[in-house]
Amino acid sequence: MKNKRFFSKDPTTLIIVFGAIGILVGIVGSLVLHYLFYLNLGEIEHKSIFTLKVLLFLIPSTAISLLLLFIFFLLAIVKKHTNTLFSTNKLLENIFDSIPQRIFWKNSNGEYLGGNRLFLQDLGLKTPNELLGKTNKELNFEPKELKKFEKEDIAILKKGWELKKIRNKRVIDGETYSFEGSKLPLRDKKGEVIGIVGVYEDITKNLIQEALVVRQGRLAQMGEMLSMIAHQWRQPLNVISAINSAIRLKTFKDKIDKEYLLEKLNETNEQVKYLSNTIEDFRSFFKPNIEKKEVLTKDIIEDTLKIIKSSIDSRAIDIVLNIETDMSLFTYKNRVIQVLLTIIKNAKEAIEQKNIKNGKIIISAKKENERLTIEVCDNGTGIEDEKLEKIFLPYFTTKHESVGTGIGLYMSKIIIEEHCGGKLTAHNNSDGVCFKITL
């Protein structure tokens, strides 16, 4: 029973056994026939002619029978494995075709070995055979796309790079689509790169939705900017008003002199300059950054505080700076400022909402692993853990719905991680909540 179970589980062993017996019988039979053939006729007169005939018949027929049995079992096993392989390939094909992403794979020569249904549709192909063995140059790609794909493939095949979050636009049937995906190296058992596998998806609708959310957030922030301008302008306008009142009073009493008038005019001029600089700061902030530029850490933080410090000071909240580096980075300056404004404003509102005395916002900057980290912490008692996990989701807010829109932090996450190539995270500490920007 043990042997039967063994053979039934591993039919290859049965084939080897039968094959070995067949070969052994064939060899023995050949030797016997060879011996009998060379026997002296005088020697075989006394031997049984019948026995000789039986041997001459049985040996070759047994060998042939075993060999045929070996071939039969071998064909059965090959058929079984072929059917299994076909079923597995069909299953994988069905799985790939049911995935909503586009998938393709090709060899080290850049020749396509396969792709799923959606990938074929994008290329205007109907069957996998139309794709098999072709390169990018033989398919319906624009010259600009070909150049981009060639650079990516070289980086993967020659350097073993993993390319993630690659974005590309394509015109299909007259409409422009946006795609995002990844390309990874295919490796053999030794770790050598033998090809490329790519996965990407249509993000056109997501980008449209994202643009609407960003627009909403931008409009909301413009309203907040106007509020900040009002805070910044209130004091200088009051000073100008007081100067005008003093000049008027002196004029009515006929006690005004040239020196006094010039002094007050200079004071008024200083306040007007302050108002003008404020407008310039806000105007610069709302300029779109089309390209990344080199910027210093201190410039980012100083320009942020120029915009928001007045509204923070009016609430008697202290701002503490711990700037340990002034490293330069290549980024979108105004977008980073936009994120910092959102985080600082949220910290201010949390301190006000919790009625915290001696409110404090700590802004830290340091270099970690050759990257800049900016951390903004407050003492507003923090955010509940279950809410902290959701704060970067669109339209989720910890404030009252009449105050918060739930767009600011969602938009901040997109700006830092997708536009600036960094990371934005949040965690509670002993006093409140900390937001960490890594660039």
* Closest among 348, 392, 376, 358 to 435, alpha carbons compared: 376
Give the whole-angstrom CA distance, residue 215 versus residue 407.
10
Looking at 35, 70, 97, which one is the last position of a domain? 97
Residues 171 and 147 in one domain: yes
Q: Are residues 60 and 124 in the same domain?
A: no
Q: Tell whether 330 is covered by a domain.
A: yes
Tally the residues of the chain: 439
- Are 308 and 406 in the same domain? yes
| Most confident region among 48-57, 60-69, 91-100, 194-203 by mean pLDDT | 194-203
pLDDT of residue 364: 92
pLDDT tier at 178, thresholds 50, 70, 90: confident
Report how far apart, in Å, the C-alpha atoms of 105 and of each of 128, 135, 433 are. 12, 11, 45
Examine residue 267 and state whether it is found in any structural domain, yes or no: no
Question: What are the residues whose beta carbons fall under 8 Å from the beta carbon of 117, sequence distance 6 or more?
Answer: 96, 97
Residues 296 and 225 in one domain: yes
Residues 197 and 339 in one domain: no
Compute CA distances 123 → 9, 119, 128, 297, whole Å: 46, 7, 11, 46
Reference 266, options 238, 239, 304; nearest CA is: 239
Backbone phi, psi, residue 174, to 5°: 85, -5
State whether 420 and 335 are in the same domain. yes
Residues 110 and 86 in one domain: no
pLDDT in tens, 205-237: 777 777 776 676 666 666 666 766 666 677 678
Residues 320 and 227 in one domain: yes
Domain's final residue, options 56, 72, 97? 97
- Range in 15-19, 162-166, 168-172, 367-371 with the lowest mean pLDDT: 15-19
Please check whether residues 220 and 328 belong to one and the same domain: yes
Domain count, the chain: 3
What sign does the CA torsion over 135, 140, 142, 144 have? negative
* pLDDT for the residue numbered 377: 92
Residue 36 inside a domain? The answer is: yes
Residue 246 lies in a domain: no
d(CA 287, CA 283): 7
- Decide: 307 and 228 in contact? Cβ < 8 Å: yes
Looking at the fold, whether 158 and 303 belong to one and the same domain comes out as no
- Its domain, for residue 349, covers 208-231+289-438
In one-letter notation, the amino acid at residue 83 is: N
Look at 58 and 157; give whichever has higher pLDDT: 157
Query: In sequence order, what are the beta bridge partners of 377?
Result: 362, 434
Q: Is the residue at 266 inside a domain?
A: no
Asked whether residue 27 is domain-assigned, the answer is: yes
Q: At what angle do helices 204-252 and 297-313 cross, to 10 degrees?
A: 60
Q: Which pLDDT belongs to residue 209?
A: 73
Assess if residue 262 is contained within a domain. Answer: no
Q: Would you say residue 373 has pLDDT above 90?
A: yes
Residue 273 falls within a domain, yes or no?
no
Per-residue pLDDT tens over the stretch 342-356: 888 888 888 888 888
What pLDDT sits at residue 13?
59
Integer angstrom CA distances of residue 326 from 209, 238, 298, 304, 329 = 37, 37, 6, 15, 10
The residue-averaged pLDDT of 110-126 equals 86
The CATH number linked to 372 is: 3.30.565.10
Domain termination residue (choose one: 97, 112, 128): 97
Is residue 53 domain-shared with residue 105, that is, in the same domain?
no
Going by pLDDT thresholds of 50, 70 and 90, the confidence category of residue 376 is: very high
Average pLDDT, the chain: 76
- Structure confidence at residue 363 (pLDDT): 92
pLDDT of residue 63: 60
Q: Inform me whether the pLDDT recorded for 22 exceeds 80.
A: no
Kindly report the pTM of this predicted structure: 0.49
Per-residue pLDDT, 275: 73
Indicate whether 44 and 161 sit together in one domain: no
